[in-house]
Amino acid sequence: MTTLAPALSTRYFPQTATWIRDVTLIILGSLFTALLARVEVPLPFSPVPITGQTFAVLLVGAALGSKRGAASMALYLAEGALGLPFFAGGAHGMEIVVGATGGYLMGFIVAAYVIGLLAERGLERNMRTSFVPFLAGTAIIYLLGVSWLAVVLGSFSDALAFGLLPFLIGDAIKLAAAAVALPAAWKLVR
């Protein structure tokens, strides 16, 4: 009897199966991002730590597409804002969302959407072209993150010095790693 239920649900209710699959992928994307947020290297001179979150955003956006990728990042942000220890180093709460790293967190949603949109257009098909959506997504995260950090710090030059320059090499490595990991992410999604 239990083996018949999945066959019936996908045969007679294909939209239900698709909806369940989409929700599952969105939740898994948010949990993957939360897991990689635990990979944290605090910088003593910056309010922004080095984390694995941006790597997760790149993969989730490319693997899930624009809508599911953005929904996954929005869920991640909501989970952390509501108190789950999902932000860098296990931090949580609205004070993180409106604090120094809030622009980066908001940037995750936009970046995942744009990465997913570019991936849907076929730009993630091989390692060479996957750099285009990943670079665009990274630029969006920086644009929103550094802009918000400038507001928090009261100085655009300080925001560049503490929220952009120390991260360029690490994010280039994450970008390359995401391009290498993308085929495995596709297999998991499919």
| Domain segments of the chain as ranges | 4-189
User: What's residue 123's pLDDT?
Assistant: 73
Kindly report the CA angle at 66 between 63 and 72, in degrees rounded to 5?
A: 75
CA separation for the pair 176, 74 (Å, rounded): 25
Which residues have C-beta within 8 Å of that of residue 167, sequence separation ≥ 6? 48, 50, 142
For domain 4-189, the question of CATH label 1.10.1760.20 is answered with: yes
User: What's residue 154's pLDDT?
Assistant: 97
pTM: 0.88
User: What's residue 13's pLDDT?
Assistant: 58
User: What's residue 113's pLDDT?
Assistant: 98
CA separation for the pair 81, 16 (Å, rounded): 29
Q: Are 49 and 36 in contact (CB under 8 A)?
A: no
User: What's residue 1's pLDDT?
Assistant: 43
CA separation for the pair 190, 86 (Å, rounded): 26
pLDDT in tens, the chain (190 residues): 444 445 545 565 567 778 999 999 999 999 999 999 999 999 999 999 999 999 999 999 999 999 999 999 999 999 999 999 999 999 999 999 999 999 999 999 999 999 999 999 987 677 777 789 999 999 999 999 999 999 999 999 999 999 999 999 999 999 889 888 887 787 777 7
